[in-house]
Amino acid sequence: MERLLRNKTTILMFILPALIIYSIVLPLPAVSSVYFSLVEWNLIDTMRFVGLDNFSFLFLYDDVFYAALKNTFIYLLLSIALQLPMAFFLAIILSKAIKGRRFFRNVIFLPVTFSGVAVSLMWYFIYHSEVGLVNRFLEAVGLGFLKHSWLADGSTALYAVIICVAWQFVGYHMVIYMAGISTIPADIVEAAKMDGAGEWHIIKHIMFPYLIPMLKVSTILMTTSSLKSFDNIYIMTQGGPNHATEVLASHMYTKAFAQMEYGYGSALSTALMALCISATVLLNRLFRRDDFDA
């Protein structure tokens, strides 16, 4: 048996089915979308090879692409800036033996299990300018002058979406950090307390270093999910008003499937793919160097 498993052909035989399915599902479409980015095609007419025309249009004329790029980065940075510290402190508080911590833990984690579409629809109504919870609340407490059409105003729409996403996923990262906190040996914390370390010192010098691997994981998860974010945007604003919340994925969707510009949509998806790959490589580099330092 052992000899059988050492044989290269046998190994190949075992991985072949999975490899074939995997390559049909993942790398092949990716490669073909690079090919489609070089054509002008509405999915129905005959395909017309246009070389790099799609890309030159993308970089020279498509200001929506630049708006989407900017929004994607704002979305990415703010998601991390909001969710990471919030999840971190929630995890610390709920790891303590406080009353009702199970209840709060479940409540905070619950939105993660909801469908993104349902959450987005709910927040769409929360932000609604006429019947929305936010405006009704502001009016009720006498702050009626702050009433605003949150999703309809280009200056607030993107932030409104980011808050909705943070609300949904903060529980997810909290659970990751709580798992990390539970691995911290109790005697270290005990010893620190004996030496007179305060709450803040314990967090800063014991919990934070222990949680660094978890923080890295959740940063990578947040980065990749932000880069390809689509559902929340599509449901709440459809990229509007006037592209104020347009992200790369929603721009790609509109081009490829609403305008049937499949070639151009593929060019956008190629750009998005390049961005995702470079972000992942960059983050990996960054974090690996940290490991050496530590």
Partner 1 sequence: MRRKLAVVLVSCLLMLLVAACDGGNKDGGSSSDTGSGKNAEAGGGSGDKKATIKFWYSANDADPNDTHYKWIEDTIEQFQKANPNIKVEPTVISNADQYLNKISTEMAANNAPDIFQTWMSGRLEPFVKANRIYPLNEAIDADPAFKELLNPNNLDTSTFDGKIYALPNAMTAEVVFYNKALFDKYKLSVPETWDDLMNVIKTFKDNGVVPFALGNKDPWAGSIPYMGIYDRLFGPQAYEDVVLKQQAKWNDPSFVEAGKKLVELKDAGAFPDNFNGLSDEEALAMFHSEKAAMFFIGTWIVIEANAKLGDKLGFFNFPDIPGGKGSKADDFIVNKDEGYAISNASKNKEAAIDLLKFLFSKERQAANAEQGQLIPTVNIPYDKSKIPAITIELNDALSKVKNSMIPWDNPLGQNIGKEFNMTTQAILAGAGVEESFKKLQAVSEKVWSK
Question: How would you label 110-138 residue by residue, b for 16+ Cβ within 10 Å and e otherwise?
Answer: ebeeeebeebbebbbebbbeeebebbeeb
Integer Cα distance of 54 and 75 in angstroms: 26
Binding flag, residue 230, partner 1 (CB under 8 A): no
CA distances 137 to 127, 163, 179, Å, are 11, 17, 36
Polymer length in residues for the chain: 294
Check binding of 259 to partner 1 (CB under 8 A).
yes
| Residue 163 makes contact with partner 1 by CB under 8 A | no
Q: Is residue 243 a contact residue for partner 1 (CB under 8 A)?
A: yes
Torsions phi, psi for 149 (to 5 deg): -95, 90
Q: How far is the CB of 253 from partner 1 (least distance, A)?
A: 9
**Interface with partner 1, residue 139, by CB under 8 A:** no
The rounded distance, in Å, linking the Cα atoms of 217 and 243 is 31
Q: Which of the ranges 115-123, 185-193, 233-241, 268-276 carries the binding residues for partner 1, by CB under 8 A?
A: 233-241
The residue (of 45 and 195) whose beta carbon lies closer to partner 1 is: 45
Q: What SS3 class is residue 143?
A: coil
Residue 40 host element (H or E): strand 39-40
Q: Is residue 49 within the footprint of partner 1 (CB under 8 A)?
A: no
Residue 157 binds to partner 1 (criterion: CB under 8 A): yes
129 binds partner 1 (CB under 8 A): yes
Which lies closer to partner 1 via its Cβ, residue 66 or residue 89? 66
Q: Which residues bind partner 1 (CB under 8 A)?
A: 4, 7, 9-10, 12-13, 16-17, 20, 40, 42-45, 48, 53, 57, 61, 63, 129, 149, 151-154, 157, 237-238, 240-243, 254, 257-261
